[in-house]
Amino acid sequence: MIIWQKEKKRGMDKIETYRFTVEPFHVDFTGKLFMGVLGNHLLNAAGHHSHNRGWGIDHLNEAHYTWVLSRLCIQLDEWPRQYDEVEVETWVESVMKLFTERNFLIRNAKTGAIYGYARSIWAMIDVQTRQPANLLTLKDGDILRYVIPAEEKPCPIEKFSARVRMSAEAEIRRVATHYSDVDINGHINSIKYIEHLLDLFPRKQFERFHIFRFEIAYKAESYLGDTLYLLSEKQEGIIDGEVYQAEIRKHMGRPEKPEGETVVQAKIVWECVELLPF
Amino acid sequence: MIIWQKEKKRGMDKIETYRFTVEPFHVDFTGKLFMGVLGNHLLNAAGHHSHNRGWGIDHLNEAHYTWVLSRLCIQLDEWPRQYDEVEVETWVESVMKLFTERNFLIRNAKTGAIYGYARSIWAMIDVQTRQPANLLTLKDGDILRYVIPAEEKPCPIEKFSARVRMSAEAEIRRVATHYSDVDINGHINSIKYIEHLLDLFPRKQFERFHIFRFEIAYKAESYLGDTLYLLSEKQEGIIDGEVYQAEIRKHMGRPEKPEGETVVQAKIVWECVELLPF
SS3 (DSSP) at B16? strand
Does the pLDDT value for residue B9 go beyond 70?
no
For residues B235 and B244, is the Cβ–Cβ distance under 8 A? yes
Question: Is there a contact between B184 and A225 if contact means CB atoms under 8 Å apart?
Answer: no
- Predicted confidence band of residue B59 (pLDDT cuts 50, 70, 90): confident
> What pLDDT is attached to residue A10?
46
For residues B218 and B164, is the Cβ–Cβ distance under 8 A? no
CA dist., res. B142 & res. B98, Å (int): 15
Choice between B54 and A190, residue whose per-residue pLDDT is larger: A190
Ramachandran area for residue B152 (φ above 0: left; ψ -120 to 50: alpha; else beta) = alpha
The angle at the Cα of A254, spanning A252 to A255, to the nearest 5 degrees, equals: 140
> What pLDDT is attached to residue B5?
45
> Hey, which of A101-105, A237-241, B223-227, B234-238 has the most confident mean pLDDT?
A101-105
Q: Give DSSP secondary structure letters for B178-235.
A: -GGGB-TTSBBPHHHHHHHHHTTS-HHHHHHEEEEEEEEEE-S--BTT-EEEEEEEEE
> What pLDDT is attached to residue A278?
54
Min Cα separation B225/chain A (Å): 8
Question: Is there a contact between A24 and B184 if contact means CB atoms under 8 Å apart?
Answer: yes
**Averaged pLDDT score across all residues of chain B:** 90
Q: Which of A234, A252, A214 is nearest to A35 (CA)?
A: A214
- Predicted confidence band of residue B31 (pLDDT cuts 50, 70, 90): very high
> Which residues of chain A have a pLDDT value below 70?
1-12, 258, 275-278
- Predicted confidence band of residue B276 (pLDDT cuts 50, 70, 90): low
- Predicted confidence band of residue B56 (pLDDT cuts 50, 70, 90): confident
> What pLDDT is attached to residue B62?
73
DSSP B252: T
Question: Is there a contact between B44 and A24 if contact means CB atoms under 8 Å apart?
Answer: yes
Tens digits of residue pLDDT in A85-99: 999 999 999 999 999
Chain B residues whose C-beta sits inside 8 Å of any chain A C-beta? 23-25, 27-31, 34, 36, 40, 43-44, 47, 57-58, 82-83, 178-186, 189-191, 195, 198-201, 203, 206, 224-225
**pTM score of the predicted model:** 0.91
Question: Is there a contact between A179 and B25 if contact means CB atoms under 8 Å apart?
Answer: no
Chain A residues whose C-beta sits inside 8 Å of any chain B C-beta? 23-25, 27-31, 34, 36, 40, 43-44, 47, 57-58, 82-83, 178-186, 189-191, 195, 198-201, 203, 206, 224-225
Question: Is there a contact between A183 and B82 if contact means CB atoms under 8 Å apart?
Answer: no
Rg (CA), chain A: 19
B34, B179, B191 member nearest A25 (Cβ) = B191
> What pLDDT is attached to residue B251?
82
Tens digits of residue pLDDT in B100-146: 999 999 999 999 999 999 999 999 999 888 899 999 998 888 999 99
